[in-house]
Structure 1
């Protein structure tokens, strides 16, 4: 096998910087996705028909089209219409956050509907306002049921973050491509960042299990 990792050693700090670059936009995308996904889930269970229709239409569009297409539209097509360029970092946050919110909304909706209807009926009987009921009673119970699915979505988002390399954003994948082009050797840098992605995913998996155990102890 024609492998030589020694040539890659001087480039290791450059590639390691990609961890922070990747995690930074993934973190903001997760926050955007979680907030918007929660709002969409509440719209989907709302008694207002137009809100349900809009939330379902949003989910249909973002789940029915490729993520890379959404990223390209935000980064390349929208500036064509508006005349203003979008920073690669902002485009990555918007594309991944908007896409993730569609999936998170379905996860949260399923979690809310899995909560015993008697909880809502009791809250209504006690005169608890809808917003307070959702915040203090329904959503905390739903979170315990959907945490594994949410963590799986976050893990998927972290792995799919490599797609942003297509718009030149210097994440882990893009840095591996830069090093490969400089050395005319692609296997070593790609294998190196592959190990980093695996470590990130394993770290998220451990964190998710810790949260699950903590929630079980609070029952």
Structure 2
């Protein structure tokens, strides 16, 4: 059986990495040389930070809620199983963009109205101020929509993982 002549031949060189590095250097030069590119880069960098924050928080919340829903779905109680199944099937069937818009523009106002109705005695006693719709930021509305949407998907991952382990292990 013949062995290759060399494990580091010229065809193995990662040319794509060299091109990516050259593009990164060119972009850095353009950003450093132009105020417009510097402003655009600052805006994009801020957006990336917000995206990472929303992703991490929504994933953590969706994982916790998803685990709870998965455990409900594996429960001995028929009611808990049916509630979990209903949640998973309905939420997984709703497109994420629809869920984002619904939570942002219908769910948040409904939450504010419900919160104000529940805390009305405390508001009249002066312990709480009235919650306004604008007090619930769009960032947290997006986090809640992503949490609700992805918790249904993550619950199925947890449920399948738990069911894959045989009893007694």
Same fold (TM over 0.5): yes
Unaligned runs of 5+ in 1: 120-219
1:109 and 2:138 aligned: no
Offset at residue 9 of structure 1 (A) = 4.0
Q: What does residue range 49-60 of structure 1 map to in structure 2 within 5 Å?
A: 49-60=78-89
Matched residue, 2:39: 10
Q: Judging changes above 3 Å, is the alpha-carbon distance between structure 1 residues 80 and 118 closer, same or farther for their aligned structure 2 residues?
A: closer
> TM-score, normalized by length of structure 2?
0.63
Q: Judging changes above 3 Å, is the alpha-carbon distance between structure 1 residues 80 and 91 closer, same or farther for their aligned structure 2 residues?
A: closer
Q: Partner of 1:107: helix, strand, or coil?
A: helix
Which protein is richer in helix relative to its size?
1
Q: Judging changes above 3 Å, is the alpha-carbon distance between structure 1 residues 50 and 10 closer, same or farther for their aligned structure 2 residues?
A: same
1:37 and 2:63 aligned: no
Cα distance in 2, alignment partners of residues 24 and 114 from structure 1: 32
Q: Partner of 1:118: helix, strand, or coil?
A: coil
For these two proteins, the number of residue pairs brought into alignment is 116
Matched residue, 1:214: none
Cα deviations by residue, 1:33-58 (Å, 9 ceiling, x for unpaired): 00000000101111100000000111
Aligned residues: CA RMSD: 1.9
